[in-house]
Amino acid sequence: MASKTQTLALTLSLLILISSCKSSQAAGIATYWGQNSNEGTLADACNSGNYQFVNIAFLSTFGNNQTPVLNLAGHCDPSSGTCTGLSADIRTCQSKNIKVLLSIGGAAGSYSLTSADDARQVADYIWNNFLGGQSASRPLGDAVLDGVDFDIEAGGAQFYDELARSLNGHNAQAKTVYLAAAPQCPIPDAHLDGAIQTGLFDYVWVQFYNNPPCQYADGNADALLSSWNQWASVPATQVFLGIPAAPEAAPGGGFIPPDALKSQVLPTIKKSPKYGGIMLWGRQYDIDNGYSASIKDSI
């Protein structure tokens, strides 16, 4: 029989091990896939070992009595059914504990919500066509995505809170719909503040690029860190630093060289209890620049 001292030592060792496992899993890298036909397959992205989240982008048309449209650039054509083969890739990602989300909106989409009822109809469409519901016309096949990313950069701000509530309403005993948001770094965000204030979002990956007042510039991280401190207190489970994976990924600036990220930014933001990791725009630029591979051991 073990002595009390041995039992205590074993208990402490287990606690240290559990703490270590939690810390090693605490942060991850998210990216966007779907807008460049040269970025490889979705399975390629997940097989890289660099990401914990992949947003399939974008459901670029929805709301206001419009027929929803999924735009995956040159990868496949949803209207002719050629994207259903992505189900196998989605399952590959999920088998590696990578969450795959549908990103709605984007910078060039045609979308808006005109009423709470409109928001509920869009939520039902997304649930039935991409999540755990059923539909005869699932654009990505029968694989069930893990959630929805709100990348709302155009139109009004109304009713996205209702969309979030409606999607969240499909969570029963188990968490089946994760919610993410990609606001711009000026706070409050012009399109997503109301939705984020519901407190329903699991991940908020803030775009600290193409926004000079709150991004890294000329070797100086002060504006970014000041903005980060504000974002770190929003009612979300985790907050991510969203940055471009290469200079050309953000014409409006905000690229942070990996060494600068590690020395000037990460030591500060990792102290935030809600720090979740890094979001990179986007997969093609990351392939070209090798950004995620150069930072993944430091986040």
First to last CA, the chain: 43
Determine whether 165 is exposed, middle or buried from the number of CB atoms within 10 Å of its CB (0-12, 13-18, 19+).
middle
Determine whether 95 is exposed, middle or buried from the number of CB atoms within 10 Å of its CB (0-12, 13-18, 19+).
exposed
| Kind and range of the H or E run holding 290 | none
Which residues are part of the catalytic machinery? 153
| Kind and range of the H or E run holding 6 | helix 4-25
Report the DSSP beta bridge partners of residue 241.
206, 278
CB 204 within 8 A of CB 181: yes
